[in-house]
Amino acid sequence: EAQVTQNPRYLITVTGKKLTVTCSQNMNHEYMSWYRQDPGLGLRQIYYSMNVEVTDKGDVPEGYKVSRKEKRNFPLILESPSPNQTSLYFCASSPRRGVGYFGPGTRLTVT
């Protein structure tokens, strides 16, 4: 079954404690991206990757890092999370530049 998986699905953490949200796709897609969704602001792109070892900033990259060492995986790293990063996060993959398929989401709360 073609899918995008994210883990964890829910996470409550404290300010400053580094965390990683994993994203994996089994469709051999080249393009992957991360979004955050906040009430009233909609979905905003954090980072995207056109292929292995190729990543670029989206609209709201501050406070986030990504890596693309393998085609299937695109983890999102928060080195020092802050409360304003409390949000619903989605990973997405697509065979070419675009949005394509979303993962189920990760609800992150930073206290």
Partner 1 sequence: RKEVEQDPGPFNVPEGATVAFNCTYSNSASQSFFWYRQDCRKEPKLLMSVYSSGNEDGRFTAQLNRASQYISLLIRDSKLSDSATYLCVVNGGSSASKIIFGSGTRLSIRP
Closer of 2 and 14 to partner 1 (Cβ):
2
Q: Please give the C-alpha separations between residue 101 and each of 18, 25, 82, 90, 95, in angstroms, as whole numbers.
A: 27, 9, 28, 10, 10
Question: Shortest approach of partner 1 to residue 98 CB, angstroms?
Answer: 6
Question: Shortest approach of partner 1 to residue 109 CB, angstroms?
Answer: 15
Read off the DSSP letter of residue 53. T
Closer of 79 and 92 to partner 1 (Cβ):
92
Closer of 28 and 51 to partner 1 (Cβ):
51
Strands 101-102 and 87-94: antiparallel
Question: Shortest approach of partner 1 to residue 101 CB, angstroms?
Answer: 7
Question: Shortest approach of partner 1 to residue 15 CB, angstroms?
Answer: 25
- Is the C-alpha dihedral spanning 55, 60, 62, 65 positive or negative? negative
Residue ranges that bind partner 1, judged by CB under 8 A: 33, 35, 40-45, 48, 50, 56, 58-59, 90, 97-105
For residue 90, give the amino acid letter.
Answer: F
Closer of 16 and 104 to partner 1 (Cβ):
104
